[in-house]
Amino acid sequence: MNELLDLLTPYVTRLCAPIALQDGADAAQEALIAVFRGLRNVRDPQALYGWVRTTAVREAVRVARRAHPAVAAELEDLPAPGSLELAADIRDVLDRLTPEHRAILVLREIEGVDEKSAAELLSISTGTAKSRLSRAKNSFRKAWTS
Amino acid sequence: MTSDWPDVELDQVRRMRVLAASLPGVSYAEAHLDIPFDRVWAFIEDMETSMPALITDFRSFRIAERAPVGDAGEIRMKAKAVGLLGNRGAFDVILKPGWCLMQSRLVIGGMAASPEEGGTRFAGCGTLRLPGSRLLARAEGGRGAERIIAKLRTQLG
* Least confident range of A27-36, A46-55, A117-126, B25-34: A117-126
- This prediction has a pTM of 0.84
Residues of A with CB below 8 A from B18's CB?
5, 29, 32-33, 36
Q: What is the mean pLDDT of residues A79-83?
A: 47
pLDDT in tens, A22-36: 999 999 999 999 999
Residue of A nearest to B7 (CA): A17
Contact A24 B6 (CB under 8 A): yes
Quick check: A8 pLDDT over 90? yes
Which H or E run includes B94?
Answer: strand B88-96
Backbone dihedral angles phi then psi of residue B21, each to the nearest 5 degrees: -65, -20
pLDDT for the residue B84: 84
Mean pLDDT, chain B, integer? 89
DSSP designation for A70: S
Note the helical H segments in chain A: 2-20, 24-38, 48-67, 90-95, 99-105, 115-121, 126-145
Q: Compute the radius of gyration of chain A from its Cα atoms.
A: 16
Q: Do A24 and B1 touch (CB under 8 A)?
A: no
Residue type, A114: D
Q: In terms of CA atoms, which chain B residue is nearest residue A91? A: B6
Residues near A27 by Cβ (< 8 Å), separated by ≥ 6? A16, A17, A19, A20, A56, A59, A60, A63, A64
Between A14-28, A119-133, B29-43, the lowest mean confidence (pLDDT) is in A119-133
CA B83 – CA B7 distance, rounded (Å): 44
Comparing CA positions, the residue from B19, B24, B2 lying closest to residue B135 is B24
Q: Is the ipTM of this complex over 0.90?
A: no
Report pLDDT digits (tens) over B73-96. 899 999 999 988 888 999 999 999
Contact between chains at A14 and B94 (C-beta distance less than 8 A): no
Closest CA to A15 of A3, A4, A27: A27
Query: Alpha helix locations (H) across B55-104?
Result: none
- Cβ of A33 within 8 Å of Cβ of B1? The answer is no
Q: How far is A23 from chain B (nearest CA, A)?
A: 9
The pLDDT assigned to B135 comes to 58
* Chain A: residue whose CA lies nearest to B99: A2
pLDDT tens-digit profile of B108-122?
999 999 999 999 999
Tens-digit pLDDT profile for residues B52-68:
999 988 999 999 999 99
Q: Is it the case that residue A101 has pLDDT exceeding 50? A: yes
The verdict on B2 touching A (C-beta cutoff 8 Å) is: yes
CA distances B3 to A90, A109, B140, Å, are: 11, 12, 46
Q: What is the pLDDT of residue B13?
A: 98
Q: Do A5 and B15 meet the contact criterion of CB atoms below 8 Å apart? A: yes
B128 in Cβ contact with B138 (< 8 Å): no
- Flag whether pLDDT at A20 surpasses 70: yes
pLDDT exceeds 80 at position A145? no
Provide the pLDDT for residue B145. Answer: 85
